[in-house]
Amino acid sequence: MAEFSGIIAGGGLVGLTLALALHQKGIKASVYEAVKKIKPLGVGINLLPHSVQNLAKLGLLEEIEKVAIKTSSLAYYTEDGKVIWREPRGLEAGYDVPQFSIHRGDFHMILLNAARERLGPENIITGHHFSSFDQDADGVTAHFTDRQTAEPKGSARGDFLIGADGINSQLRHIFYPNEGPPKYSGQMLWRGVTEMEPFLDGRSMFMAGHNDLKLVAYPIRAESMRRGKSYINWIAERRIPSDLAARAADWNETGLLTDFKPYFENWDLGWLDIGKLFDKALSIHKFPMVDRDPLPKWSFGRVTLMGDAAHAMYPNGSNGVSQGVLDAMTFADLLDGATDIEATLTAYEEARREATAKISLANRQTGPELVMQMVKDQCPGTCGEVHSCIPQATLEEVATAYKKLAGFDKQTLNAVK
C-alpha cells in the first residue's frame, strides 16, 4: 500500500480536523499555520449533528461535552416576541448525537491539543505563512514566509497539499488570482458574548427579526451553566448596503455598541433583557456578512482546497464549520487505502464541491431563516402569541428542505453508523 504524507496550510478548525482524520487512518501530515501562537479566538459557533457524528469518530466527543452546550431547540421569533417556528435540536430532536453550541476558541483548543498529542507537536508548525507551491510527477513543495516580515521560512515536500487557510486563502488566490475580496451581503454583524442569567431553558438558540434587522443568541459554555449563569453568544445584524463594509473581512475587528444598539431599542421578546445583553458584553466584534462564489474547480493535480478556503458561506443555517468537518472526513476516507493521489483529490472534489455550492447558494437566500422574512412580508400584525399567518406545513417544509440540503436530516443521519 502507498504511504502518503501531506501538507496542510492553515491550522484553523478545518486544517486541524483534517490532520486528526488523516492521523486516524495512519496517513502522515503536517500542519503549517501562519500565526506564531494559536490563540482561542472568535465567539460562538454551532456543531450540527452531521459534524458531531464525525467528531465522535475522531474521539473528541467527551472533550467537547465538557465545555459546550448541548443545544435543545431552535426558535424563530418576530421582533415583538411572537413565535414563528420552534423545533427541537440534537438529542431532543431524536438524533443519535447532540448538536453543540461552543466557543470557537474552546473548540479550536480541543482540536489543537488533540493534534499536538496525536501527531506530535513537531507536526503542528506555527509562524509559517503558506505563500506558494510547485508540483511535479513525484510530489508537491510548499513554500512559507514569515507573515509579518515576509522573510522566507523554508519549504516542505509532500505527496499532497491542502489549502485550509480560511476565507482569505492564499492558495485560492493562486488558483483564482482575479477573484478579489469576499462578497458582501449588505448585512453587518456585531458579534459579542455576555454572561448573564439564562434565557428560556438555558440551552436554546433563537433568531428574531427579519432580513433588515436581526438578533441571534445562544449559550455556549457548560461551565457557566454549572454556576447557574449563561455565557451567551449573540449576533446583532443590520443591513448596511455599502460596498465599503466588505473591505474589513477581519475576524478581530472591534465593534461599537452605538452602531447597532439604538436599532433594537423598541424590541421586546419578553424573556430576555436585550439592553443588558448588549451593555454587559465582554467583547464585541464587527464582521461583514461575506461569502465567496462557488468555484468551478478545487483540485489541481496534488493540490486542493478545503473548509472556508473552498466554500466560505453566510452563517445562515450555522453550517460553515460543520461542512468543513465533512470535507476533512470525506478526504481522509477517500485517501485511506488509495494508490493515486490525483484521482483521490478529484474524487474528494466530486463528493464535496457541488454539495457545498448548493448550501452556499441556499444561504444567500437566507437558508432556513427564510421563514422570518416570510412573516415580515405576509403578516398584517394581528397574530397572537404564536404566529399563525403562515401555515405550519409551509414552515416545516422550509426547515426540512434545508436539513436535507445540508445533510443533517434525521433519518439519513441516524442511518449512518
Ligand X SMILES: Cc1cc2nc3c(=O)[nH]c(=O)nc-3n(C[C@H](O)[C@H](O)[C@H](O)COP(=O)(O)OP(=O)(O)OC[C@H]3O[C@@H](n4cnc5c(N)ncnc54)[C@H](O)[C@@H]3O)c2cc1C
Residues lying near ligand X in the complex (CB under 6 A) are found at: 9-15, 32-35, 41-43, 45, 104, 129-130, 164-166, 170, 191, 251-252, 307-309, 315, 320-321, 324
Our CB check for ligand X shows the closer of 90 and 320 to be 320
Q: Please give the grid coordinates belonging to residue 403.
A: 436539513
Compute the radius of gyration of the chain from its Cα atoms.
Answer: 21
Output 98 or 255, the one with its CB closest to ligand X: 255
Taking the complex as a whole, how short is the minimal distance between the CB of residue 220 and ligand X, in angstroms? 10
List, in sequence order, every residue forming a beta bridge with 304; answer none if it has no partner.
162
Q: Which is nearer to ligand X, 189 or 375 (CB)?
A: 189
How many angstroms separate the CA atoms of 242 and 33, rounded? 33
Q: What is the 3-state secondary structure (H, E, C) of 26-81?
A: CCEEEEECCCCCCCCCCCEEEECHHHHHHHHHCCCHHHHHHHCEECCEEEEECCCC
Tell me how far, at minimum, the Cβ of 87 lies from ligand X, in Å.
21
Which DSSP helix (H) or strand (E) runs through 103?
strand 100-103
Nearest distance from C-beta of residue 369 to ligand X, angstroms: 15
**Residue that the C-alpha cell 436539513 belongs to:** 403
Give 178 or 252: the residue with its C-beta nearer to ligand X. 252
CB of 321 to ligand X, least distance (A): 4
DSSP state of 254: B
Q: Is the Cβ of residue 261 or residue 292 nearer to ligand X in the bound state?
A: 292
Q: Is residue 387 within 8 Å of 83, Cβ to Cβ?
A: yes
Between residues 170 and 299, which has the closer beta carbon with respect to ligand X?
170
- Residue 367: left (phi > 0), alpha (psi -120 to 50), or beta? left
| Chain center to CA of 248 | 19
Report the side by side order of strands in the sheet with 124-125: 124-125, 28-32, 5-9, 160-163, 303-305
From the CB of 167, what's the least distance to ligand X, in Å?
6
Q: Which is nearer to ligand X, 46 or 78 (CB)?
A: 46
Helix, strand, or coil (residue 216): strand
Residue with cell 478579489: 180
Closer residue to ligand X, CB minimum distance, 84 or 310: 310
The least distance separating ligand X from the CB of residue 395, rounded to whole angstroms, comes to 25
Alpha-carbon distance of 47 to 322, in angstroms, equals: 6
Smallest gap from residue 1 Cβ to ligand X (A): 29
193: left (phi over 0), alpha (psi -120 to 50) or beta: beta
Say which residues have a Cβ less than 8 Å from residue 293's Cβ, sequence separation at least 6.
Answer: 179, 183
The CB-of-387 to ligand X minimum distance in angstroms stands at 28
Between residues 189 and 347, which has the closer beta carbon with respect to ligand X? 189
We find the least distance from the C-beta atom of residue 257 to ligand X, in angstroms, to be 18
Q: Which residues pair with 205 in a beta bridge?
A: 74
For residue 80, give the C-alpha cell: 415583538
Give the type of residue at 168.
N
Contact between 330 and 352 under an 8 Å Cβ cutoff? The reply is yes
Query: CA 327 to CA 315: how far, in whole Å?
Result: 17
Edge-first strand order for the sheet with 183-196 is: 83-88, 73-77, 204-209, 213-219, 230-239, 183-196, 283-291
Q: Which residue is nearest to ligand X (CB)?
A: 12
Cβ proximity to ligand X: between 191 and 302 the closer is: 191
Cβ at position 206, least distance to ligand X in Å: 17
